[in-house]
Amino acid sequence: QVQLVESGGGLVQPGGSLRLSCDASRIPFGSGFMAWYRQAPGKVRELVAKITIRGDTIYSDSVKDRFTISTDNSNSTVYLQMNSLKPEDTAVYYCNAKWFTNDVWGQGTQVTVSS
């Protein structure tokens, strides 16, 4: 049963922007925290950004000042606005939700940054 659904990935040129969306309407949105991870070929999955119930955010050093995580509680959606994209941002991006003992992942959306 799919509980998180990502969208918005695609091919973009270096310096471009994309906005990823994560539909979290099938989980108790707002009960824990939401995050975006990514995994590039041959590399381990890494945290990109996280947002807590209170709206506190954490970013990896590699995306700080370029990416912004946000939520829209009215439609239970988490966004990742990605600006000034670089080839090294190429990866599959995953939405993640954690609340109590639950740890739920989406199926991922591919982001490719290339000219």
Q: What is the pLDDT of residue 39?
A: 98
Residue-level pLDDT at 71: 94
Predicted local distance difference test score (pLDDT) of residue 63: 98
pLDDT at 62: 97
pLDDT of 1 reads 74
**Mean pLDDT of each 10-residue bin along the chain, 115 residues long:** 91 98 88 93 96 94 97 93 98 95 95 97
Contact 23, 79 (CB under 8 A): no
